[in-house]
């Protein structure tokens, strides 16, 4: 029986180590615009059943409880949580934040042609005047600013307008659209603040900002990470304590087996 305790506690140590890895990644991205924190989901492993609950007991009775020994814990998933982060004012016209909706995303095209999605709106211009991410991913639909642009603005409903010369009237260039998913946690993170669609996310639905339930665009601002430093610190301390306790269980089980072996001698 002591061997089972060793293996069970080992699964606990392994699970808490994975929890620490996720917490470390959350903390590392405290200042990453548009970052969404991860949560570890645990589940208990299969059980060894010595007496089944509900089975026939002595004298024809039904057992109200059974004898079941668990075999530890496993990480069943790491889940992205898409609560909105705070809005940080930057006064940069190309910084865009999505307000009022957590399951809509900017749509971009990566250099290899992949369609990806992001909540990080820290856009800039490439050599052709196109609006791109810092990694060179092109915002979709494409928006290209004229070479001689005096100023630009993006309205809450996603219309890009520019003034080419001081005193001119604004000229509308493009209408920004967003992508919406029924289950954003089903998106696959690929790094660089980007996600790609999987079957678990559901179908991509193209929506217009400013319409009901689809958020609005705030120009000159960015969405901050939704990581709460205090919560992550508490989670880290809890994980550390759980890891230590599981380690103590292994030491205790090992000592118990040594005592049993000595008694046999």
Residue 234's pLDDT is what? 96
**257 — pLDDT class (breaks 50, 70, 90):** confident
CA distances from 238 to 25, 40, 156, 167, 232 (A): 16, 13, 42, 61, 10
- Check whether 76 has a pLDDT greater than 80: yes
- Check whether 120 has a pLDDT greater than 80: yes
Q: In the predicted model, what is the mean pLDDT of residues 63-79?
A: 89
- H-helix or E-strand spanning residue 107: strand 104-109
Which residues are registered as beta bridge partners of 154? Answer: 160
Please tell me the least confidently modeled range out of 18-22, 242-246, 251-255.
251-255
Residue 2's pLDDT is what? 64
Please tell me the least confidently modeled range out of 12-16, 164-168, 196-200.
164-168
Q: In the predicted model, what is the mean pLDDT of residues 92-115?
A: 96
Residue 265's pLDDT is what? 56
Query: What confidence tens digit (pLDDT) does each residue in 168-222 have?
Result: 788 899 999 999 999 999 999 999 999 999 999 999 999 999 998 899 999 999 9
CA distances from 114 to 34, 78, 108, 128, 188 (A): 20, 24, 8, 20, 13
Residue 264's pLDDT is what? 63
Please tell me the least confidently modeled range out of 90-104, 110-124, 204-218, 246-260.
246-260
**56 — pLDDT class (breaks 50, 70, 90):** confident
- pTM of the full structure: 0.88
Residue 182's pLDDT is what? 94
Residue 88's pLDDT is what? 97
Residue 240's pLDDT is what? 95
Contact between 217 and 158 under an 8 Å Cβ cutoff? The reply is yes
Contact between 246 and 8 under an 8 Å Cβ cutoff? The reply is no
- H-helix or E-strand spanning residue 138: strand 138-140
The pLDDT mean for the chain works out to 92
Q: In the predicted model, what is the mean pLDDT of residues 218-244?
A: 96
């Amino acid at each position: 029986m002591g061997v089972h305790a060793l293996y069970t506690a080992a699964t606990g140590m392994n699970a808490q180590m994975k929890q620490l890895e996720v917490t470390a990644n959350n903390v590392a991205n405290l200042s990453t615009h548009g970052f969404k924190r991860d949560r570890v989901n645990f589940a208990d492993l299969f059980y060894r059943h010595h007496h089944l609950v509900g089975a026939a007991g002595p004298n024809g009775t039904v057992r109200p409880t059974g004898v079941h020994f668990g075999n530890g814990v496993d990480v069943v998933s790491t889940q992205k949580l898409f609560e909105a982060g705070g809005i940080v004012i930057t006064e940069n016209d190309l910084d865009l934040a999505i307000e009022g909706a957590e399951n809509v995303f900017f749509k971009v095209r990566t250099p290899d042609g992949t369609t990806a999605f992001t909540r990080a709106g820290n856009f800039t211009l490439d050599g052709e005047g196109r609006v791109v991410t810092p990694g060179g991913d092109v915002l979709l639909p494409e928006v290209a600013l004229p070479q001689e642009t005096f100023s630009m603005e993006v309205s809450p409903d996603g219309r890009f307008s520019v003034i080419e010369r001081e005193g001119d009237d604004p000229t509308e260039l493009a209408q920004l659209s967003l992508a919406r998913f029924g289950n954003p946690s089903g998106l696959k993170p690929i790094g660089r603040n980007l996600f790609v669609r999987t079957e678990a996310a559901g179908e991509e639905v193209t929506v217009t900002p400013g319409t009901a339930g689809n958020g609005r665009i705030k120009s000159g601002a960015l969405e901050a990470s939704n990581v709460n430093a205090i919560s992550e610190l508490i989670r880290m301390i809890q994980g550390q304590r759980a890891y230590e306790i599981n380690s103590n269980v292994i030491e205790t089980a090992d000592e118990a087996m040594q005592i049993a072996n000595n008694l046999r001698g």
